[in-house]
Amino acid sequence: MQTNNRRPIVAGNWKMNGNLALIKQVEELFSDADISHVDVVVCPPFPYLGGFNDSNFALGGQNISHYESGAHTGETAVSMLKEMNCQYVILGHSERRADNNESNELVADKVELALAHKLIPLFCIGEPEDIRESGQLFDFIAAQIDAVINKVGIAAFNDIVIAYEPIWAIGTGKTASPEQAQEVHAFIRQHLAKQDSNIANQCVILYGGSVKGSNAVELFSQPDVDGGLIGGASLNPEDFLSICLAAKR
């Protein structure tokens, strides 16, 4: 029987929110918190990455360009995130896929670039409500995963964190039930296992979609849910800390 030594991760995606005052509040609250059981990541808007001091959590970017550098106004190079001490980067978030027409193939290109620069991708996948209702959920999820496997190979998933976020639950107040989340997380792990069962067993898979302090314990208690990618609740330091504390195995 395979053993599971996956370390939980809780990442806060501030999206286009936050300010310097919030940075100070988060740093002050977390400075005295015992979060030794979980890896905590904060992903603020790009201008605020430089506002953090030495913290007991990691920093992540919310996106990178698929270009390394050059005349691409408004874009952010992966090397810039590295220089700002980022360890992680969110890639393939549904809002990027929708607002910026990011295809599975483009997301895979970005994952490849992040890995080449030793950034850990928080690789987002998830389905809209109509896909779930049509019965195409697992095919949809598999296509998102396979685009990355085809680009970087299954071994790269040793260094990739998957974040499953059902699009219908992001910012809507709706949350997948713990059973629904576990069903999809188990499918993701089984899909990876078709290529390599050991990598599948060790791959960290996060859940995202209206996670709150009140539902985090039950969600994180599912056997294939290894933490969360947190949106709105990450903007409230107390709520975010309570979610991080809920990630104890």
Backbone angles phi, psi at 60, to 5 degrees: -140, 155
**Residue tagged active-site, from 27, 95, 127, 165:** 165
Q: What is d(CA 159, CA 141) in angstroms, rounded to the nearest whole number?
A: 19
Contact 123, 77 (CB under 8 A): no
Amino acid residing at 234: S
14 is in an annotated binding site: yes
DSSP SS3 for 5: coil
65 is in an annotated binding site: no
208 is in an annotated binding site: no
Dihedral angle over CA of 13, 16, 20, 24, nearest 10: -20
- What 8-state DSSP symbol labels residue 100? S
**Residue tagged active-site, from 93, 95, 102, 127:** 93
**DSSP line for 39-96:** EEEEE--GGGGGG--S-SSEEEES---SSSSSS-TT---HHHHHHTTEEEEEES-HHH
171 is in an annotated binding site: yes
232 is in an annotated binding site: yes
82 is in an annotated binding site: no
Instruction: Give catalytic status of residue 165 as yes or no.
Output: yes
With CA atoms as reference, report the closest residue to 92 among 113, 118, 71. 113
Residue with tokens 């992680």: 88
What are 105's two structure tokens? 């193939």
Bridge partners of 161?
Answer: 122
- Return the active site residues: 93, 165
Binding residues: 13-15, 171, 210, 231-232
Please enumerate, by residue number, every residue annotated as part of a binding site for substrate.
13-15, 171, 210, 231-232
